[in-house]
Amino acid sequence: MKGVERIDGGPRSVVVVGAGIVGLSTAWFLQDRGVTVTVVDRSGPAAGASWGNAGWVSPTLTIPLNDPAVLRYGLRSMVSRSAPLHIPPTADPGLWSFLARFAMNCRLSSWTRAATANLTFNDECLEAYDVLTANGVAVPTTDGPITALFETPRQAEHLRTELHRMAALGQHVAVTELTGATLREQVPLASAAITTGLSIEGQRFVDPGRFVHALANAVVDRGAELVIGEVTGVQPGRDGISVQLPDRSLSAEAAVIATGAWLSKLAGPWVRTPVRAGRGYSFTVPVDRPVLGPIYLPEARVACTPYRGGLRVAGTMEFRSPDAPLQPARIEAIVASATPLLDGVGWAARSDPWVGPRPVTPDGRPLIGEVAQGIYVAGGHGMWGLAHGPVTGRLLTEYITTGKQPDALRDFDPLR
């Protein structure tokens, strides 16, 4: 790219495998350092977890999954077909091995390590979005609190505890408790069953599909080639890195594997920490009352976001193959759990059913860094890929172009 200073000694060309929020953010920031970029994806931009998620850019709520209470909840969920956590009875041995490792990490020490590792990402994630939207990514983020709703004050205790833990580690947390008319004013959709709300301030939301497509357009406009095709292998060689497709190969001085829930397929030769698909579902419903901002239903594990005049409703953690078809029963489970908590929602008129595979690691920490000479990985962000995608791209670009690992990436070492 003309007019952009390149860091001497860094690669002049990089192939980024994966056109989700993480891969495209990495491509954009590499271009900002003067690197020539090719992006490869088997389906195109936002085809995985980036399209239909809740769209929260929520630094305060990037709470690791491996809370000790999740293990107890997960064991209870296994006997209920309608529970937000779903593991199919035909799960393969690899999944059971992964879940055993995840269970071993559902302890406070592992949770604290993951939460602490996220702090820099949380501090910088909004700024990374601002850099993108100020420089050609033409879809804005929207400021607004995320309001968690509860039927009783006691139900709010677990989220209060998690937020207190986050604050004790150094995360900025600003929470306002809501009841009565104040609660109804902020969340007109809250049903009569809701008595308590926690308004988590300083958060944002975005239309994730539109944003990722706008990011892809910006990357292409800045000179990148976008190749549609499934990568079958990434190999180091004497003259750089070879990225292999069924009908051709691409070569560059470096490559980034950012394929989300499919990351282990290509990174497996180097990375021992597995990445599995924790699939999330969403759909859109019409509403007859204003939606002023995102709504969180912690007891139902459901996230709701204003979306094109209606409400996008997202939930479920389903451990199944990332390529498996949508399971209608998971949509029905979300509807059943959320219906008593929200009024003025046209549940029967829902549209745009979607399932996307969120990339989950057993220890709650993503995999970001170099795995072989000139080969890097970036993935395993779990539920927080949208929030942490741009800052991941910026920090990984610093690593690639300078050869120096940023301190913020040390706990995300993919070779751990």
What's the CATH number for 13-412?
3.50.50.60
SS3 281: strand
Per the listing, tokens 């691409």 go with 250
Q: In residues, how long is the chain?
A: 416
* Dihedral Cα 9, 15, 17, 22, nearest 10 deg: 50
Q: Which strand ranges, in their side-by-side order, compose the sheet holding 56-57?
A: 56-57, 204-205, 142-143
State residue 282's pLDDT score: 97
Identify the burial level of 222 via C-beta atoms within 10 angstroms of its C-beta, where 0-12 means exposed, 13-18 middle and 19 or more buried: middle
DSSP string, 299-353: TTTEEEEEETTEEEEEEEEEES-TTSPP-HHHHHHHHHHHGGGBSSB-GGG-EEE
DSSP string, 220-238: HHTT-EEEES---EEEEET
Is 251:240 a contact under the CB 8 Å cutoff? Answer: yes
φ, ψ (nearest 5 deg) of residue 249: -135, 150
- Alpha helices by DSSP H, 170-292: 180-186, 208-221, 263-267
Residues 235 and 17: their CA atoms lie apart, in Å, by 13
Is 214:222 a contact under the CB 8 Å cutoff? Answer: no
Which residues are paired to 257 by β-bridges?
Answer: 17, 377
Sequence-separated contacts (24+) of 77-84 with Cβ below 8 Å: 81/329, 81/333, 82/329, 82/332, 82/333, 82/336, 82/337, 83/333, 84/300, 84/301, 84/302, 84/315, 84/316, 84/317, 84/333, 84/334, 84/337
C-alpha distance across the termini of the chain, in Å: 35
Per-residue pLDDT 10s for the chain (416 aa) are 433 444 557 999 999 999 999 999 999 999 999 999 999 999 999 988 889 999 999 999 999 999 888 766 555 555 566 677 778 777 688 899 999 999 999 999 999 999 999 999 999 999 999 999 999 999 999 999 999 999 999 999 999 999 999 999 999 999 999 999 999 999 999 999 999 999 999 999 999 999 999 999 999 999 999 999 999 999 998 889 999 999 999 999 999 999 999 999 999 999 999 999 999 999 999 999 999 999 999 999 999 999 999 999 999 999 999 999 999 999 999 999 999 999 999 999 999 999 999 999 999 999 999 999 999 999 999 999 999 999 999 999 999 999 999 999 999 999 99
Residue 256, H or E segment: strand 254-257
Q: What's the DSSP call for residue 7?
A: P
Structure tokens, 409: 């990436």
What residues contact residue 133 under an 8 Å CB cut-off, 6+ apart?
Answer: 139, 140, 141
Residues 181 and 223: their CA atoms lie apart, in Å, by 53
Per the listing, tokens 């306002």 go with 176
Residues 8 and 126: their CA atoms lie apart, in Å, by 29
* Amino acid, single-letter form, for residue 279: R
